[in-house]
A = this chain, B = another copy of it.
């Protein structure tokens, strides 16, 4: 079970969390990991599936927001134009985006033999952070099989956090980073959730500020930030693309509350999707009924996005044990630092 901010008496905001305090509080969402730890190889793949069916046939409404664009994500152009996601969302290390995209394509063709024939092509969506310090990233260790393993591992329920999947070799504010998740209940239209999953790999040592004002010291030189953070936001509130883009933008507020200023060398990218309005690839009607949120009620989603992003990053660090990676490089655990403080 992942350690979370509440285990350490911290809180990020005022909205109540979901039952699992994870992106999987949004019904249907599945998360899977493939973790590689072998000598200097410390990396992996994390897959987020918006639902359990054929994602190409039943696309989810989506949007993205680039907080800082020093990043190599593939797939954003089409997400912004068409407002949909049609594959799993993969997270991995920076130099493995190409391999992951190819694996997603092959998997989509397997499920939809008309792709590239009668049905157009498919838009793979893969985000990344640079785990170079702790992982031999030049080895390009991720293969298409690792992607299939992460997809096969995807499940509802508990989300494994910390040093798993794409988070295996990540660093955050000089501490060990990785995969983190959090959620908020949304008191709208009968009850909904907004959930966030992050791959945390950003922040200069010394810049982290806890919700109570403390500034943990990771025992690392401050140096130049060269990290990144991928933020995936999911909700079952029906939102149109423009509304999702507004929600995605608020992830940046969550990151800023941690003490980050969205550093130059960091690829800080948010992707948001809603399972509330599926888009049928084979839609036969000219005009399609859908639901959209009354815009005057959107603040609760903005607040939830900022709070859950803030908390998901902290959860990623609190779930990640101390780690020694490539060339003996060590990263302390924020959980250890907090436990030391409590003594």
Give me the interface of A with B, judged by CB distance under 8 Å. Answer: 66, 68-78, 80-83, 94-95, 97-102, 105-106, 109, 115-117, 120-121, 123-124, 130, 132, 137-138, 140, 188-189, 211-213, 224-226, 237-238, 240-242, 246, 249-250, 252-257, 259-265, 267, 269, 279, 283, 285-299, 302-303, 305-307
**Complex contact B189–A287 (CB within 8 A):** yes
Could you tell me the distance in whole angstroms from the C-beta of A57 to the nearest C-beta in chain B?
Answer: 13
Q: Which B residue's beta carbon lies closest to that of A302? A: B261
Could you tell me the distance in whole angstroms from the C-beta of A138 to the nearest C-beta in chain B?
Answer: 5
24 cross-chain CB contacts under 8 A: A69-B81, A69-B82, A70-B78, A70-B81, A74-B98, A81-B246, A95-B102, A98-B102, A98-B105, A189-B287, A212-B213, A237-B287, A238-B287, A240-B241, A241-B241, A242-B242, A250-B262, A253-B255, A256-B257, A257-B257, A264-B298, A264-B299, A288-B291, A289-B289
**Complex contact A99–B97 (CB within 8 A):** no
Kindly identify which residue among B124, B242, B257 contacts A98, using a CB–CB cutoff of 8 Å. B124
**Complex contact A299–B263 (CB within 8 A):** yes
**Complex contact B97–A68 (CB within 8 A):** no
**Complex contact B78–A77 (CB within 8 A):** no
Q: In the complex the two chains form, what is the Cα distance from A312 to B109 in whole Å?
A: 33
Residues of chain B lying within 8 A (CB to CB) of residue A252: 252-253, 256
**Complex contact A77–B71 (CB within 8 A):** yes
Q: In the complex the two chains form, what is the Cα distance from A296 to B118 in whole Å?
A: 14
Q: In the complex the two chains form, what is the Cα distance from A290 to B303 in whole Å?
A: 25
Could you tell me the distance in whole angstroms from the C-beta of A62 to the nearest C-beta in chain B?
Answer: 11
Residues of chain B lying within 8 A (CB to CB) of residue A116: 94-95, 130, 132, 137-138
**Complex contact B106–A97 (CB within 8 A):** no
A305-B140 CB under 8 A given contacts A74-B98, A283-B296 = no
**Complex contact B293–A287 (CB within 8 A):** yes
